[in-house]
Chains A and B, each alone.
Chain A
């Protein structure tokens, strides 16, 4: 399994739960690394059911949104499914403004996200 520096990856049954290690996802070099690690879950590890748990994430930039969109596309292309959970209100507002709440499957918490598969 690949070593991760930006994310924590756990497996619950067939579902992969990803947590973010950075409170603020804005440094561009870190976002590049984050993208590589997230995409690797789909492209190298063949994970098809992914929950992104945003516990502890206080801030993310539009560059980070771009990585999430690309990840979502990769998961869909691999016939997998991705859900997001534990998003704080300010970040959820960013998803609403950009209408990404229509693209992403957003659930209140991790257990709700897992049971939605």
Chain B
């Protein structure tokens, strides 16, 4: 499995937190290899149950998209996951080895004519539940970020 890096508290520019980089095999259910640990660290860093639900859902959607749509479950390919959790920031980058896609071409699943289409909701849920999501130009990498609501 991947390596774990505990960031130095003394580094001025790096916030204290949990950081893990791992490569997942392209097989169904592989997200569980990182998810339990991620959820544990969200709790340890004081994220609320509703935030943990939101981050869990967004991370799950991103990883499943990478495994299924990106790598097409090709066993020769990996999904690279880089997670950072601190008390006020969560950052998760998911990179696959597929062809990438243009997120602008994903149709709006909330249009009346698409409400009953069974697929295509993952990207919208990620956008809604996270503070920021950003795709690479190639479309095979997504960065999810959530900043804790201070209000």
Q: Are B28 and A102 in contact (CB under 8 A)?
A: no
Question: Known: A26-B60, A29-B29, A97-B128. Is A62-B116 also a contact (CB below 8 A)?
Answer: no
Q: Are B110 and A61 in contact (CB-based, < 8 A)?
A: no
Question: Is A103 among interface residues, defined by CB-CB distance under 8 A?
Answer: yes
Interchain CB contact (< 8 A) of B118 among A59, A67, A97 = A67
How many residue-residue contacts, CB under 8 A, span A and B? Answer: 60
Closest B residue by C-beta to A76: B116
Nearest B residue to A27, CB-CB: B29
Q: Which residue of A lies closest to B115 (CB)?
A: A103
List CB contacts (< 8 Å) of A87-117 with chain B: 89-90, 94, 97-100, 102-103
Q: How far is the CA of A10 from the CA of B61 in the complex (A)?
A: 32
Nearest A-chain residue to B30, judged by Cβ: A28
B57 touches A94 (CB 8 A): yes
Do the beta carbons of A90 and B61 come within 8 Å of each other?
no
B121 located at the interface, meaning its Cβ lies under 8 Å from any Cβ of chain A in the complex: yes
For B119, list chain A residues within 8 Å (CB). Answer: 62, 66
Are A70 and B128 in contact, with the CB atoms below 8 A? Answer: no
Answer whether residue A78 sits at the interface, using C-beta atoms and an 8 A cutoff. Answer: no
A28–B128 Cα distance when bound, in Å, is 22
Interface residue B139 (Cβ < 8 Å from any Cβ of A): no
Is B110 touching A62 in the complex (CB atoms < 8 A)?
no
Separation of A51 and B94 alpha carbons in the complex (Å):
37
Answer yes or no: B50 CB below 8 A from chain A CBs.
Answer: yes
B124: interface (CB < 8 Å): yes
In-complex Cβ contact of A28 among B50, B56, B64 (8 A):
B64
- 0/1 interface trace, chain B 105-133, chain A, CB 8 Å (1 if under): 00001100001111101101100100000
Known contacts being A27-B29, A66-B118, A67-B118, is A94 close to B60, with CB within 8 Å? no
A-side residues, CB < 8 A to B, are 26-29, 58-59, 61-63, 65-67, 69-70, 72-73, 89-90, 94, 97-100, 102-103
